[in-house]
Amino acid sequence: MLNAFNERLVKGGAVSRDAGRLLKHAEAFRYVADYSDNAVEFADAREIVAQAEMFVANLQSLLNRNDPDTEQSSGMTA
C-alpha cells in the first residue's frame, strides 16, 4: 500500500515528497514497535503522532480540493 501511495500520489505530484517521507518514517517506527524487541521512545512516538496529524490534515485538504460536493469557503460538505 505504501508503494502504491508513493507511485500514484507522491510521484504523481498530488502529495509532497515530504508527506511520502513522513509516511515511510512512521511505518519504520510501527515496524519496530510491532516486530522487534526494541521499544519506541516516548519522545519519538510523540513526534510521529504530531507528524501524523499534519499528514492527515494535508490529505484532508487535498481531498476537499478534489471533492465537488465540498464548499471551499466553509470546509463543510453539502
Q: What is the pLDDT of residues 13-62, one digit of tens each?
A: 888 898 888 899 899 889 988 998 888 899 999 999 999 998 899 889 88
Which three three-digit cell numbers place residue 47?
Answer: 513526534
pLDDT at 74 exceeding the cut of 60: no
Q: Is the pLDDT of residue 66 over 50?
A: yes
Note the pLDDT of residue 49: 94
- Pick 76 or 19 by higher pLDDT: 19
- Assessment of whether the complete model's pTM goes beyond 0.85: no
The pLDDT score that the predictor gives to residue 69 is: 75
Q: What residue spans define the domains of the chain?
A: 2-66
